Amino acid sequence: MPSSTQSTTPNTDLRLFEAVHLGSLRLQNRIVMAPLTRSRALEGDVPSELAIEYYTQRATAGLIIAEATQISPQGKGYILTPGIYNDTQVLAWKRITDAVHAKGGHIYLQLWHVGRISHPSIQPDGALPVAPSAIKPEGKSFTADGFVPMVTPRALETSEMPGLVEQYRTAALNAKAAGFDGVEVHAANGYLLDQFLRDKTNQRTDEYGGSIENRARLLLEVMATVVDVWGGDRVGVRISPLSKFGDIDDSNPEPLFTYVVESLNAFNLAYLHVIEGDTGGTRDVAGGFDLQILRRLFNGAYMANNGYDKALAGSALDTGHADLICFGRPFIANPDLVERLRTDAPLNEADPATMYGGDAGGYIDYPFLGAKK
């Protein structure tokens, strides 16, 4: 409530900066840092020392979702991305989570398997990437030789599914050992779990293909396994129902994602992270559907993402469209994004040349408010 000296004019921005409970965590605001691939991991998929500074600079976010992190060597799709499948990686991540916690922040890890969005030069022993079906994606993979065309993947055998789910269990256990506050399962943007969901990429005839229930089977098995490790209140999931990122699509996304979200309620998750529209592109997708259907169906917190600024975020929170707002690219160039949004300060512009790969430049050297030029 406003004090007697404050204006009584409604301020729809205020909810963006208020503390909120997310599962068993109390976040200092409703601003979430989206998982952002920056391609600065070391040999062996180990997070670098620079990442400690990078994430602690941004610890004023209510929640940080750390960059997409492969659950196994097979799950890797781009060079210089981190993993969470061995002890060396766990120790490196532990230094990051300890530093974020020392700053009063909270941090989740996003669990990632890219599926077909990879290249043999990145895969163990030069193997083909795996996918629901042997369908070649359009696009290029970021390799040691630069961007090269992707290849036709190998279709996973039914017998491989339990082992794949176990990769998620191991990664979830490792994330807990690394000191994260929770994990987000990446089921969006045309990567493996999304590939199983969509009928453009899943043309299987076994129990993991065909009907909506079958195509959602792997995701739900993964969620059950990760929740078994963490408990539902420390687990989120990311979906992108209308995105075509990763050369993906579905002939009828509304019943598919309605079923998925209704099924996810069984796990009592902390949140549902939804990319609204096309990833990194328009929020209005031709032939799409009203994603608020999913918001109404889901029993937990709804995290909205894609093209949000302060005004749109404030409106979404004020109208009940969302509970949390995820900001991606603005966090790259603005480590103090929360304060800049709070004070309506101008934002730094990100340098595209330093977005992926490199050193400290364009990573930890973007200026804070008041910093000398």
Residue pair 303/322 in contact (Cβ under 8 Å)? The answer is yes
Instruction: Please compute the mean of the pLDDT values over residues 265-289 and round it to a whole number.
Output: 88
The pair of three-digit structure tokens given for residue 299, joined into one six-digit string: 């029993």
Q: Which of 108, 191, 363, 366 is catalytic?
A: 191
Which pLDDT value is given to residue 370? Answer: 81
Sign of CA dihedral 100, 101, 107, 108: positive
What tens digit of pLDDT does each residue of 213-248 get?
999 999 999 999 999 999 999 999 999 999 999 999
Which pLDDT value is given to residue 6? Answer: 36
What tens digit of pLDDT does each residue of 241-259 get?
999 999 999 999 999 999 9
Instruction: Say if residue 287's pLDDT is above 80.
Output: no
Q: Which of the listed CATH numbers 3.30.1330.90, 3.50.50.60, 1.10.287.130, 3.20.20.70 matches domain 14-354?
A: 3.20.20.70
Least confident of 2-11, 40-49, 57-66: 2-11
Which pLDDT value is given to residue 225? Answer: 98
Would you call 275 helix, strand, or coil by DSSP? strand
**Per-residue 3-state assignment (H helix, E strand, C coil) for 209-271:** CCCHHHHCHHHHHHHHHHHHHHCHHHEEEEECCCCCCCCCCCCCHHHHHHHHHHHHHHHCCCE
Would you call 37 helix, strand, or coil by DSSP? coil
Instruction: Please compute the mean of the pLDDT values over residues 319-338 and round it to a whole number.
Output: 97
Q: What share of the chain has pLDDT > 90, as a percent?
A: 90
Which pLDDT value is given to residue 1? Answer: 31
Instruction: Please compute the mean of the pLDDT values over residues 9-38 and round it to a whole number.
Output: 88
The pair of three-digit structure tokens given for residue 70, joined into one six-digit string: 């492969």
Q: Say how far apart CA 118 and CA 334 lie, in whole Å.
A: 30
Least confident of 28-32, 140-144, 151-155, 310-314: 140-144
Instruction: Say if residue 373's pLDDT is above 70.
Output: no
Instruction: Say if residue 41's pLDDT is above 90.
Output: yes
What tens digit of pLDDT does each residue of 344-371 get?
999 999 999 999 999 999 999 999 998 7
Would you call 170 helix, strand, or coil by DSSP? helix
Which pLDDT value is given to residue 280? Answer: 78
Residue 354 DSSP code: G
Instruction: Please compute the mean of the pLDDT values over residues 82-87 and round it to a whole number.
Output: 98
Which pLDDT value is given to residue 372? Answer: 59
* Residue whose C-alpha is closest to residue 325's, from 143, 118, 63: 63
For 268, list phi and psi in degrees, rounded to 5.
50, 55
What tens digit of pLDDT does each residue of 125-171 get?
999 999 999 999 999 988 999 889 999 999 999 999 999 999 999 99
191 has catalytic annotation: yes
The gap from C-alpha 67 to its chain's centroid, in whole angstroms, comes to 7
Virtual torsion, Cα 181, 316, 14, 348, nearest 10 deg: 80
Which pLDDT value is given to residue 5? Answer: 33
Q: Max alpha carbon distance in the chain (Å)? A: 69
Is the pTM higher than 0.85? The answer reads yes
DSSP notation for 65-128: EEEEEESSGGG--STT--B-SSHHHHHHHHHHHHHHHHTT--EEEEEE--TTSS-TTTSGGGPP
What tens digit of pLDDT does each residue of 100-129 get?
999 999 999 999 999 999 999 999 999 999
* Residue whose C-alpha is closest to residue 243's, from 213, 201, 295: 201
Give domain limits for the chain.
14-354
With a CB cutoff of 8 Å and minimum separation 6, the contacts of 121 are 143, 144, 145, 148
**Residue 68 forms beta bridges with which residues?**
110
Instruction: Say if residue 279's pLDDT is above 90.
Output: no
Would you call 201 helix, strand, or coil by DSSP? coil
Residue 359 DSSP code: S
